[in-house]
Structures are given as structure tokens and as C-alpha cells.
Amino acid sequence: MKSVAFVFTQSPHGSSSGREGLDALLAVSALSDNIGVFFIADGVLQLLPQQLPGKILSRDYIATFGVLPLYDVESCFICEASVCERGLEQANWVLPVTRLPLKELRKTLGGYQQIFTF
């Protein structure tokens, strides 16, 4: 199967994009073992723990990102510039991620045959 990248660019809970992307990622993980996950721009907010989406009557799906290694999804990258722009340099993420400078992140993303953006 092709190598597949999932790119999260939207903040969580403002729309269903993040949840739908995570659902698609989990489904594809059953079919492919060459998956990369990228968090760029507001997508880095998808990985912040202790969010309270119930206050806006939204489903809490963020912790599910933490189980991706159990699905053999281990190539997870976060944009260093996006992290710094949001003042999250000291954040604890719900998923082990590799911080990459934007140029290196683009190069890594370019190595995937199929890219889905959420």
C-alpha cells in the first residue's frame, strides 16, 4: 500500500475536522504500516492534554491520539515554528512527537505518496 500522511491543521473542537481525521487515521492504520502524522499551525492544539470540550458539548477525543503507537503509528511530527508561535515550547503532548523545523517537516511530508489534510 502507498505511504500515507495525515496532516492536522485545525484547532480541536471548533469543528469536526480533527475527530474525523483521527477516525480516518485509525481506519487506515489497519491497512497500511507506512503512516505519518503531522501537526501544523493550529493543528498542534490537537495534542494538548486536559482540554474540557464537554463545556461546549463536544466529545473528548484528544486522548485517543495517545493510543496511536498501539496501532503501530509511530511517525508523528509537530511543526516547531507552530509550537513556538503559540507559546507551547514547554507543553506536554498526549502523543510522542518529533519536533521539526518547517523546512525539514515539508521535506519529510513530501516523502509520502498520499496526503490527507484535516
Residuewise pLDDT in 10s, the chain (118 residues): 799 999 999 989 878 899 999 999 999 999 998 999 999 999 999 999 888 766 667 777 888 899 999 999 999 999 999 999 999 999 999 999 999 999 999 999 999 999 999 9
Contacts of 76 (CB under 8 A, 6+ apart): 36, 37, 38, 39, 68, 95, 96, 97, 98
Cβ atoms 8, 116 nearer than 8 A: no
pLDDT given at position 69: 94
d(CA 85, CA 41): 9
pLDDT given at position 97: 97
Q: Does domain 4-117 have CATH number 3.40.50.360?
A: no
d(CA 109, CA 9): 14
- The residue ranges of every structural domain in the chain are 4-117
pTM, to two decimals: 0.92
Would you state the cell numbers that stand for residue 54, as one nine-digit string? 464537554
